[in-house]
Amino acid sequence: MKSVKGLSDIQDFFNWMWAVDPRLASRLNDLHDYYRRACKQAARSAATYGDFSFTVDDRYRVDVRDQNHSLELGLFHINGCDSSVISWSSSEMVLVLEMTTHSVVVKGIKTAEDFIAEYQRLLVLYRAAFQKATAGE
| Model confidence pLDDT, tens digit, residues 84-112 | 788 888 888 889 999 999 999 889 999 99
Cβ neighbours for 89, distance < 8 A, ≥ 6 positions apart: 72, 73, 75, 95, 98
What is the mean predicted confidence (pLDDT) over 32-51?
60
Residues 10, 85 contacting (CB under 8 angstroms): no
The mean pLDDT value of the chain amounts to: 80
* Proportion of the chain in helix, strand, coil states, percent, rounded to 5: 55, 25, 25
* pLDDT higher than threshold 60 for residue 1: no
Residues 118, 99 contacting (CB under 8 angstroms): no
Q: 112-133 vs 92-107: helix axis angle to the nearest 10?
A: 130
- Backbone dihedral angles phi then psi of residue 136, each to the nearest 5 degrees: 75, 15
Residues 96, 123 contacting (CB under 8 angstroms): yes
Residues 102, 119 contacting (CB under 8 angstroms): no
* pLDDT higher than threshold 60 for residue 44: no
Considering the chain, what percentage of its residues have pLDDT values greater than 70?
A: 77
Which residue from 41, 18, 43, 39 is spatially nearest to 29, judged by alpha carbons? 18
Q: Which of 3-17, 34-48, 77-91 has the lowest mean pLDDT?
A: 34-48
